[in-house]
Amino acid sequence: MPVLTYLPVLPELFGHCQQVGEDTLVGRHVVIATGACHADLGIAGEELLTTSTQFLDLDALPRRIVFGGGGYIAFEFAHIAARAGAKVQVLHRGSRPLEKFDPDLVAMLVQASRELGIEEHVNRAVTAIERQGDHLLVHAHAGAQEHTVEADLVVHAAGRTPEIDKLDLEAAGVAWEKEGVSVNEYLQSVSNPAVYAAGDAVASGGFPLTPVAGMQGDIVARNLLEGNRHTPNYSGIPSVVSGPALHDAPRGHRKLVFLAAGGPPAYGVQDTRRGGDRPHSGGAPVGSARRGGH
């Protein structure tokens, strides 16, 4: 069932509908699951940024790459790029990268990144990007000081935002907030009961992660079929930052697992050497929550 709509008007969805025919499809409910897109930064030269999708589509790796932002997209891609031979810098405006993750493990990851040659700068907010000849200049503030870095590619790693701007939600009477469509505990719009939302496009309190989106999609489907009975449970959602092995395992044989368990994240280290994800005896077993003390 491609698109469901009742009287609420969602012009962008109708637009997408036309790709499968000229018909306007009508239904009793609309499910908004449009995901997220890179956030507008409102800086000069923003159009020169490469998005994460464009980064994955690159045919060749530029020599000097700057990541604006210090979240998991920056670190995952920085490691890929550095290992493939690029000179990589990460500029993060906060005082600590990967702010939502375990500080001890983040410190180890930062150290491992430095050893790989990745330059990571905190308290450095990108303020503008400029083309100069065949390369780019990245301007950044560090307090009152201005820094300029030369790069061949500047990647947007400074946050994602619900992709709901073009849906004309006002015309549909669908309330929203910065984090996405405003919903009740059943993932139903607080202002239009014909509308539900799931995934990165919903303001539900869940992290914008694949397992959360999947769970929410399942709950919305069941609430639509059975009536409002099901609510999401965000405890123990696994979240993985792919990166280097952080202790004695051969490089590349372990991946770091962070568990966002409704409080400070807990973690485990998984041994992936023989294809299985077996918990390592030195780390907290995956699934056990370590709370407090961070």
Minimum CB distance to ligand FAD smaller for 7 or for 39: 39
Q: How far is the CB of 237 from ligand FAD (least distance, A)?
A: 8
| E-only strand ranges, the chain | 30-32, 36-38, 64-68, 87-91, 119-121, 125-132, 135-142, 145-151, 153-156, 160-162, 176-177, 180-182, 195-197, 202-203, 237-241, 254-260, 266-271, 278-279
Q: Which residue sits closest to ligand FAD, CB atoms considered? A: 199
Residue holding tokens 């980064």?
Answer: 55
Q: How far is the CB of 157 from ligand FAD (least distance, A)?
A: 9
Q: How far is the CB of 278 from ligand FAD (least distance, A)?
A: 20
Q: How far is the CB of 34 from ligand FAD (least distance, A)?
A: 4
The tokens describing 145, both together, are 């000081």
**DSSP of 108-139:** HHHHHHHHTT-EEESS-EEEEEEEETTEEEEE
Interface with ligand FAD, residue 224, by CB under 6 A: no
Q: Report 138-197 residues binding ligand FAD (CB under 6 A).
A: 163, 166-167
How far apart CA 261 and CA 15 sit, in angstroms, is 39
From the centroid of its chain, how far is CA 20? 29
Q: How far is the CB of 4 from ligand FAD (least distance, A)?
A: 12
Interface with ligand FAD, residue 240, by CB under 6 A: yes
DSSP 8-state code for residue 40: P
How far apart CA 138 and CA 128 sit, in angstroms, is 6
Q: How far is the CB of 160 from ligand FAD (least distance, A)?
A: 6
β pairing state of 64-68 and 153-156: parallel
CB 154 within 8 A of CB 139: no
Minimum CB distance to ligand FAD smaller for 55 or for 137: 55
Q: Report 18-37 residues binding ligand FAD (CB under 6 A).
A: 33-35
Interface with ligand FAD, residue 68, by CB under 6 A: no
Q: Which of 4, 12, 179, 193 binds ligand FAD (CB under 6 A)?
A: 12
CB 227 within 8 A of CB 253: no
Reported for 256-261, long-range contacts at CB under 8 A and 24+ positions apart, including other chains, are 256/105, 256/109, 257/286, 258/101, 258/102, 258/105, 259/286, 259/287, 259/289, 260/100, 260/207, 260/209, 260/234, 261/235, 261/236, 261/237, 261/289, 261/291
Q: Which of 2, 16, 148, 235 binds ligand FAD (CB under 6 A)?
A: 16
Minimum CB distance to ligand FAD smaller for 137 or for 268: 268
Residues touching ligand FAD, count (CB under 6 A) = 21
Minimum CB distance to ligand FAD smaller for 114 or for 166: 166
Q: Which of 200, 203, 254, 256 binds ligand FAD (CB under 6 A)?
A: 200
| Contact window for ligand FAD (CB under 6 A) among 63-71, 127-135, 204-212, 275-283 | 204-212
Q: How far is the CB of 239 from ligand FAD (least distance, A)?
A: 6
Interface with ligand FAD, residue 266, by CB under 6 A: no
Minimum CB distance to ligand FAD smaller for 23 or for 150: 23
Residue ranges binding ligand FAD (CB under 6 A): 12-13, 16, 33-35, 52, 73, 163, 166-167, 199-201, 208-211, 213, 239-240
